[in-house]
Amino acid sequence: MTAAHKTAPNLDPAEAKKFDGLAASWWDPDGDSRPLHDINGPRVSWIEARAQLEGKAVVDVGCGGGILCESLAERGAEVTGIDMADKPLAIARQHAVERGLTIDYRKITAEELAAEAGAGFDVVCCLEMLEHVPAPEQTVVACAELCRPGGTLFFSTINRSPLSWATAIVGAEYVLGLLPRGTHRYDRLIRPEELTSACRKAGLEVLEVSGLAYNPFSRTVRIGGRPRINYLLHASKPS
Protein backbone atom coordinates (compact mmCIF):
# COMPACT_ATOMS: atom_id res chain seq x y z
CA MET A 1 0.00 0.00 0.00
CA THR A 2 1.37 3.37 -0.97
CA ALA A 3 1.53 6.53 1.07
CA ALA A 4 -1.46 7.80 -0.88
CA HIS A 5 -3.66 5.22 0.84
CA LYS A 6 -2.28 5.53 4.36
CA THR A 7 -3.17 9.14 4.96
CA ALA A 8 -6.47 10.77 5.87
CA PRO A 9 -9.00 11.39 3.09
CA ASN A 10 -7.65 14.05 0.76
CA LEU A 11 -10.84 16.10 0.80
CA ASP A 12 -11.84 19.57 1.93
CA PRO A 13 -15.58 19.45 2.75
CA ALA A 14 -15.81 23.21 2.21
CA GLU A 15 -14.66 22.74 -1.38
CA ALA A 16 -17.27 20.04 -2.03
CA LYS A 17 -19.95 22.33 -0.58
CA LYS A 18 -18.71 25.19 -2.77
CA PHE A 19 -19.14 23.16 -5.94
CA ASP A 20 -22.51 21.84 -4.80
CA GLY A 21 -23.59 25.47 -4.87
CA LEU A 22 -22.54 25.80 -8.51
CA ALA A 23 -24.36 22.68 -9.71
CA ALA A 24 -27.56 24.30 -10.96
CA SER A 25 -25.71 26.51 -13.45
CA TRP A 26 -23.00 24.02 -14.43
CA TRP A 27 -24.24 23.56 -17.99
CA ASP A 28 -25.08 27.23 -18.58
CA PRO A 29 -22.33 28.48 -20.94
CA ASP A 30 -22.95 32.04 -19.72
CA GLY A 31 -23.24 31.17 -16.03
CA ASP A 32 -20.75 30.63 -13.22
CA SER A 33 -19.01 27.87 -15.21
CA ARG A 34 -18.56 30.05 -18.29
CA PRO A 35 -14.72 29.84 -18.25
CA LEU A 36 -14.90 26.03 -18.12
CA HIS A 37 -17.12 25.99 -21.19
CA ASP A 38 -14.82 28.38 -23.02
CA ILE A 39 -11.62 26.44 -22.35
CA ASN A 40 -13.09 22.95 -22.68
CA GLY A 41 -12.93 22.66 -26.48
CA PRO A 42 -9.31 23.78 -26.84
CA ARG A 43 -8.22 21.58 -23.94
CA VAL A 44 -9.94 18.53 -25.37
CA SER A 45 -8.29 19.16 -28.74
CA TRP A 46 -4.92 19.47 -26.96
CA ILE A 47 -5.51 16.16 -25.18
CA GLU A 48 -6.76 14.43 -28.33
CA ALA A 49 -3.59 15.44 -30.17
CA ARG A 50 -1.52 13.66 -27.51
CA ALA A 51 -3.55 10.59 -26.63
CA GLN A 52 -5.65 7.96 -28.37
CA LEU A 53 -9.21 8.29 -27.03
CA GLU A 54 -11.29 6.01 -29.26
CA GLY A 55 -12.05 2.81 -27.34
CA LYS A 56 -9.76 3.74 -24.44
CA ALA A 57 -10.60 3.65 -20.75
CA VAL A 58 -10.43 7.23 -19.47
CA VAL A 59 -10.99 8.59 -15.97
CA ASP A 60 -11.66 12.25 -15.20
CA VAL A 61 -10.63 12.98 -11.60
CA GLY A 62 -12.69 15.83 -10.20
CA CYS A 63 -15.24 15.71 -13.01
CA GLY A 64 -17.76 18.14 -11.53
CA GLY A 65 -20.82 18.41 -13.75
CA GLY A 66 -19.26 16.42 -16.57
CA ILE A 67 -18.23 19.00 -19.18
CA LEU A 68 -14.94 17.26 -19.97
CA CYS A 69 -16.39 13.76 -19.55
CA GLU A 70 -19.01 14.32 -22.23
CA SER A 71 -16.45 15.65 -24.71
CA LEU A 72 -14.23 12.62 -24.13
CA ALA A 73 -17.18 10.24 -24.49
CA GLU A 74 -18.18 11.92 -27.76
CA ARG A 75 -14.71 11.06 -29.06
CA GLY A 76 -15.26 7.37 -28.38
CA ALA A 77 -13.63 7.01 -24.97
CA GLU A 78 -15.06 4.76 -22.25
CA VAL A 79 -15.32 7.40 -19.55
CA THR A 80 -15.45 7.24 -15.77
CA GLY A 81 -15.98 10.52 -13.95
CA ILE A 82 -15.30 10.80 -10.23
CA ASP A 83 -16.01 13.60 -7.78
CA MET A 84 -16.95 14.08 -4.13
CA ALA A 85 -19.61 16.77 -4.62
CA ASP A 86 -23.09 15.23 -4.79
CA LYS A 87 -25.02 17.86 -6.72
CA PRO A 88 -22.61 18.25 -9.66
CA LEU A 89 -22.56 14.45 -10.03
CA ALA A 90 -26.36 14.38 -10.13
CA ILE A 91 -26.34 17.11 -12.79
CA ALA A 92 -23.67 15.20 -14.74
CA ARG A 93 -25.70 11.97 -14.71
CA GLN A 94 -28.87 13.74 -15.81
CA HIS A 95 -27.15 15.65 -18.62
CA ALA A 96 -25.43 12.50 -19.94
CA VAL A 97 -28.79 10.73 -20.12
CA GLU A 98 -30.28 13.68 -21.99
CA ARG A 99 -27.39 13.53 -24.47
CA GLY A 100 -27.60 9.75 -24.85
CA LEU A 101 -24.07 9.25 -23.52
CA THR A 102 -22.88 6.36 -21.38
CA ILE A 103 -20.58 7.66 -18.65
CA ASP A 104 -19.85 5.98 -15.31
CA TYR A 105 -20.12 8.72 -12.67
CA ARG A 106 -19.03 7.79 -9.17
CA LYS A 107 -18.71 9.55 -5.82
CA ILE A 108 -15.24 8.40 -4.83
CA THR A 109 -11.79 9.93 -4.36
CA ALA A 110 -8.88 9.19 -6.66
CA GLU A 111 -7.12 7.46 -3.77
CA GLU A 112 -10.10 5.21 -3.08
CA LEU A 113 -10.53 4.35 -6.76
CA ALA A 114 -6.82 3.54 -7.06
CA ALA A 115 -7.07 1.18 -4.10
CA GLU A 116 -10.14 -0.45 -5.63
CA ALA A 117 -9.39 -0.53 -9.37
CA GLY A 118 -5.61 -0.23 -9.55
CA ALA A 119 -4.04 0.68 -12.89
CA GLY A 120 -7.24 0.32 -14.89
CA PHE A 121 -7.13 3.37 -17.18
CA ASP A 122 -5.31 4.21 -20.39
CA VAL A 123 -5.77 7.95 -19.91
CA VAL A 124 -6.07 9.86 -16.64
CA CYS A 125 -7.29 13.47 -16.62
CA CYS A 126 -7.17 15.71 -13.57
CA LEU A 127 -8.05 19.22 -14.71
CA GLU A 128 -8.69 22.23 -12.47
CA MET A 129 -8.87 19.97 -9.42
CA LEU A 130 -5.45 19.83 -7.74
CA GLU A 131 -5.76 23.36 -6.36
CA HIS A 132 -8.91 22.35 -4.47
CA VAL A 133 -7.50 19.52 -2.33
CA PRO A 134 -5.34 19.75 0.83
CA ALA A 135 -2.60 17.45 -0.52
CA PRO A 136 -2.28 17.71 -4.31
CA GLU A 137 0.85 15.53 -4.40
CA GLN A 138 -1.25 12.74 -2.89
CA THR A 139 -3.74 13.05 -5.74
CA VAL A 140 -0.87 12.93 -8.25
CA VAL A 141 0.27 9.63 -6.72
CA ALA A 142 -3.26 8.24 -6.95
CA CYS A 143 -3.54 9.35 -10.60
CA ALA A 144 -0.25 7.59 -11.34
CA GLU A 145 -1.61 4.42 -9.74
CA LEU A 146 -4.80 4.63 -11.81
CA CYS A 147 -2.83 4.79 -15.06
CA ARG A 148 -1.80 1.64 -16.90
CA PRO A 149 1.90 1.23 -17.78
CA GLY A 150 2.40 2.98 -21.09
CA GLY A 151 -0.62 5.19 -20.43
CA THR A 152 -0.82 8.96 -20.42
CA LEU A 153 -1.91 11.57 -17.90
CA PHE A 154 -3.07 15.17 -18.15
CA PHE A 155 -3.14 17.72 -15.34
CA SER A 156 -4.12 21.38 -15.33
CA THR A 157 -3.96 23.94 -12.56
CA ILE A 158 -2.94 27.53 -11.78
CA ASN A 159 0.56 28.83 -11.11
CA ARG A 160 1.14 30.37 -7.67
CA SER A 161 2.50 33.80 -8.51
CA PRO A 162 1.65 37.48 -8.00
CA LEU A 163 0.36 37.59 -11.58
CA SER A 164 -2.01 34.70 -10.93
CA TRP A 165 -3.26 36.35 -7.74
CA ALA A 166 -3.94 39.57 -9.63
CA THR A 167 -5.67 37.97 -12.62
CA ALA A 168 -7.07 34.54 -11.70
CA ILE A 169 -8.32 35.58 -8.27
CA VAL A 170 -8.72 39.36 -7.95
CA GLY A 171 -9.53 39.96 -11.63
CA ALA A 172 -11.64 36.87 -12.39
CA GLU A 173 -13.48 36.61 -9.08
CA TYR A 174 -13.73 40.12 -7.67
CA VAL A 175 -13.50 42.52 -10.63
CA LEU A 176 -15.00 40.72 -13.64
CA GLY A 177 -17.16 38.24 -11.74
CA LEU A 178 -16.24 35.39 -14.08
CA LEU A 179 -16.13 33.02 -11.12
CA PRO A 180 -17.82 33.15 -7.70
CA ARG A 181 -15.72 34.85 -5.04
CA GLY A 182 -13.67 32.36 -3.07
CA THR A 183 -13.40 29.82 -5.90
CA HIS A 184 -9.61 29.71 -5.52
CA ARG A 185 -7.28 30.04 -2.55
CA TYR A 186 -3.93 31.56 -3.36
CA ASP A 187 -2.05 29.30 -0.92
CA ARG A 188 -3.34 26.24 -2.80
CA LEU A 189 -2.16 27.31 -6.23
CA ILE A 190 0.70 25.17 -7.56
CA ARG A 191 3.90 26.26 -9.24
CA PRO A 192 4.84 24.27 -12.38
CA GLU A 193 8.08 23.06 -10.79
CA GLU A 194 6.09 21.72 -7.82
CA LEU A 195 3.72 19.75 -10.04
CA THR A 196 6.58 18.51 -12.20
CA SER A 197 8.43 17.32 -9.09
CA ALA A 198 5.31 15.58 -7.74
CA CYS A 199 4.82 13.75 -11.06
CA ARG A 200 8.41 12.54 -11.14
CA LYS A 201 8.28 11.39 -7.52
CA ALA A 202 5.16 9.39 -8.48
CA GLY A 203 7.19 7.61 -11.17
CA LEU A 204 5.86 9.55 -14.14
CA GLU A 205 7.74 11.02 -17.07
CA VAL A 206 6.85 14.65 -17.70
CA LEU A 207 6.56 15.23 -21.44
CA GLU A 208 5.26 18.78 -21.72
CA VAL A 209 4.19 21.81 -19.71
CA SER A 210 2.18 24.40 -21.63
CA GLY A 211 0.63 27.67 -20.58
CA LEU A 212 -3.05 28.32 -21.20
CA ALA A 213 -4.07 31.92 -21.91
CA TYR A 214 -7.77 32.77 -21.65
CA ASN A 215 -9.24 36.05 -22.86
CA PRO A 216 -12.57 36.53 -21.04
CA PHE A 217 -13.65 39.37 -23.35
CA SER A 218 -13.25 37.54 -26.65
CA ARG A 219 -13.75 34.17 -24.91
CA THR A 220 -10.79 32.76 -26.80
CA VAL A 221 -8.08 30.37 -25.60
CA ARG A 222 -4.47 29.87 -26.61
CA ILE A 223 -2.46 26.88 -25.41
CA GLY A 224 1.32 27.10 -25.57
CA GLY A 225 4.16 29.15 -24.22
CA ARG A 226 5.22 29.78 -20.66
CA PRO A 227 2.99 28.61 -17.77
CA ARG A 228 2.47 32.12 -16.42
CA ILE A 229 -1.03 31.66 -14.97
CA ASN A 230 -3.07 28.62 -16.06
CA TYR A 231 -1.14 25.68 -17.43
CA LEU A 232 -1.40 22.07 -18.61
CA LEU A 233 0.99 19.21 -17.95
CA HIS A 234 1.27 16.05 -20.05
CA ALA A 235 2.93 13.01 -18.49
CA SER A 236 3.27 9.31 -19.21
CA LYS A 237 3.64 6.20 -17.08
CA PRO A 238 6.62 4.09 -18.18
CA SER A 239 5.78 0.66 -19.56
Model pLDDT, residue 2: 38
Kindly report the length of the chain: 239
Q: What digits encode the pLDDT tens for the residues 110-168?
A: 999 999 999 999 999 999 999 989 999 999 999 999 999 999 999 999 999 877 767 76
Q: With cut-offs at 50, 70 and 90, classify the pLDDT of residue 26.
A: confident
The predicted structure's pLDDT at residue 159: 94
The proportion of the chain whose per-residue pLDDT surpasses 70, expressed as a percent, equals 85
Q: DSSP letter string over 78-98? A: EEEEEES-HHHHHHHHHHHHH
Percent of the chain beyond pLDDT 90? 72
pLDDT at 217: 85
pLDDT reading at 233 higher than 70: yes
Beta bridge partners of 57: 78
Distance separating alpha carbons of residues 153 and 147, to the nearest angstrom: 7
6 band by pLDDT with thresholds 50, 70 and 90: very low
State the CB neighbour count (10 A cutoff) for residue 89.
23
List, as one string, the DSSP characters of 138-195.
HHHHHHHHHEEEEEEEEEEEE--SHHHIIIIIIIIIIIS-SS-TTS--GGG---HHHH
Give residue 223's pLDDT: 97
Interatomic CA distance for residues 198 and 192, integer angstroms: 10
For 169-204, the pLDDT digits (tens) are 666 665 566 666 666 677 789 999 999 999 999 999
Residue 7's pLDDT is: 47
**Domains of the chain listed by start with CATH number:** 9-236 (3.40.50.150)
pLDDT value at residue 57: 98
pTM over 0.85: yes
